[in-house]
Amino acid sequence: MLQDCVTSRTMVLGALIVALAIAGCKRATVAVPRADPNACGDPIGSIDSWQVATPESVGLSKAALCPMVKWLAESTLDNVHAVLVVRHGKLVFEQYFTGDDEHLGSKAGIVTFGPTVRHDERSVSKSVVSLVMGIAIDRGWIKSIDAPVLSFFPEYADLSTPEKSRITIRDLLTMSSGLEWHEEDVPYTSPDNSEIVMDRSSDPLRAALAPDLAAQPGKIWNYNSGSTELLGAILKKATGKAVDQLAATLLFAPLGITDFSWYKQPNGSPHAAGGLRLRPRDLAKIGQLILQRGSWNGTQVVSSAWIDAASAPHIMGEFLFFYGYQFWLGRSLVDGHEVKWTAAVGLGGQRLYVIPELDMVVALNSGMYTSDRQGRVALQVLDRYVMPAVEHSG
């Protein structure tokens, strides 16, 4: 969403003031350095299934990457916590930082991050829900993404109208349900924000389905976390299992991801739209799965057809980004050459970039939840340091 790329227009000034104030406090109170500014992302030994290697062995210039560490280690504004780079299937750059963090809005204080420390992924969770939906489609548990959404919710028949009955799973996946929803144009600090209304409701699914239609389904993109909550509920209706259980067994287990958590809604259901917490290395595994078109160690975890569809541009989002099935699609210019990427994006600077042309995955975790710099910093990491480090001979 826009807040996940650059914060809401209504929050920018306030967020900048808060960021500056926090930065000032950090200068006075933080005794530990964020990271050694002379470090250069040497991967930690093989503590999981990742094969580690040097940047040079996969055609990356280590000298081009080192200044990024110095910048982020010395910055008092850019609260990045982890940057990982994978190329040709090998983890070649892994740098962690110390900084302030939150656990879904609750202050966590100063945290020293490392390969075994979980991080909020916020709306990256939406992309994971898309992958689980793909598995459900692959296995025939859900017959079609063109199925009407309300057909899964007879208990909300009182909310049905002829117009709403045309909303499909596809429309939820592409954030184009047409339901009136105010998530980007109202600050998350406001009780009038549609996601906040839903999250605080004893019946979040009713809150997601209740709004009137503001546009014809499938025509206009509007960021809507309620759509992802509905996708999670549809998965449970179709399979009998909650989305966190499905993700654990069908997606995470094949990748060797065992250390994760998923925040719950007040009604006990997993917060499908933004509740996932992962280790940065495991976030990178999900990116590598996407890069490999759903295949992992010879097993087709998600069909290549779903990966292709999920990462295709189905509708125009904002700021020239296209949107797929709960994924963002963008491009960068490297030496005048356009390089396309698919991204999972979460509030605060959580980013997972998949770059097929370069056979590369870049994973970032950050604590810039109220900063207007969160999107800019993530793209600076990608565009100024990581992609220019690719040597043509690689």
Structure tokens at 170: 């596809």
Q: What is the mean pLDDT of residues 110-128?
A: 98
- Which pLDDT score is estimated for 320? 85
Per-residue pLDDT of 120-176, as tens digits, reads 999 999 999 999 999 999 999 999 999 999 999 999 999 999 999 999 999 999 999
CA angle at 167 for the pair 183 and 354, rounded to the nearest 5°: 60
Whole-number pLDDT of residue 11: 34
What is the arithmetic mean of pLDDT over 112-116? 98
The mean predicted confidence, pLDDT, of the chain is 93
In the chain, the percentage of residues whose pLDDT exceeds 90 is 88
Calculate mean pLDDT across residues 54-82.
97
The partner residues of 330 in beta bridges, in order of sequence, read 341
Percent pLDDT > 70 in the chain is 91
**Torsion angles phi and psi, residue 88, rounded to 5:** 50, 35
pLDDT tens digit string along 4-57?
444 333 333 333 333 333 344 333 344 468 999 999 999 998 799 999 999 999
Q: Is the pLDDT of residue 93 over 90?
A: yes
- Tell me 383's DSSP state: I
pLDDT at 347 over 50: yes
pTM of the model: 0.92
CATH number of 121-274+289-328: 3.40.710.10
Residues ≥6 apart with Cβ < 8 Å to 238? 136, 141, 142, 152
Backbone angles phi, psi at 269, to 5 degrees: -80, 145
The arithmetic mean of pLDDT across residues 184-195, rounded, is 94
- Rounded to whole angstroms, the Cα distance separating 388 from 378 reads 15
CA 84/CA 386 separation, integer angstroms: 10
Neighbours of 10 (CB within 10 A): 14
| Rounded CA separation 15/157 (Å) | 41
Sequence-ordered list of residues with C-beta below 8 angstroms from that of 2, at least 6 positions apart, any chain: 8, 9, 184, 223, 318, 319
Q: Which pLDDT value is given to residue 394?
A: 59
Residue (of 251, 299, 306, 296) closest to 278 by Cα position: 251
Exposure of 238 in the CB half-sphere (CA atoms within 13 A): 27
Q: Return the sign of the alpha-carbon dihedral for residues 342, 354, 275, 377.
A: negative
Asked if residue 344 has pLDDT above 50, the reply is yes
Q: For residue 32, what pLDDT is reported?
A: 66
DSSP 205-274: HHHHH-SPBSS-TTTS----HHHHHHHHHHHHHHHSS-HHHHIIIIIIHHHT----EE-B-TTS-B-TTT
Strand 350-355 and strand 337-346: the pairing is antiparallel
What the block records as the tokens of 11 is 């929050």
Sorting pLDDT into bands at 50, 70 and 90, what band is 75?
very high
CA angle 191, 20, 105 (to 5 degrees): 35
Q: How many CA atoms lie within 13 A of 172 on its CB side?
A: 33
Residue 87 has pLDDT above 60, yes or no: yes
The 8-class DSSP code of residue 145 comes to T
- Residue 186: pLDDT above 70? yes
DSSP assignments along 37-56, one per residue: TT---PPPP-SSSPPB--GG
Structural domain boundaries in the chain: 121-274+289-328
Mean pLDDT of 254-279: 97
Of 30-34, 69-73, 74-78, 251-255, where does mean pLDDT reach its minimum?
30-34
Bridge-based pairing state of the strands 328-334 and 106-112: unpaired
What is the chain's percent helix, strand, coil content, to nearest 5?
Answer: 40, 20, 40
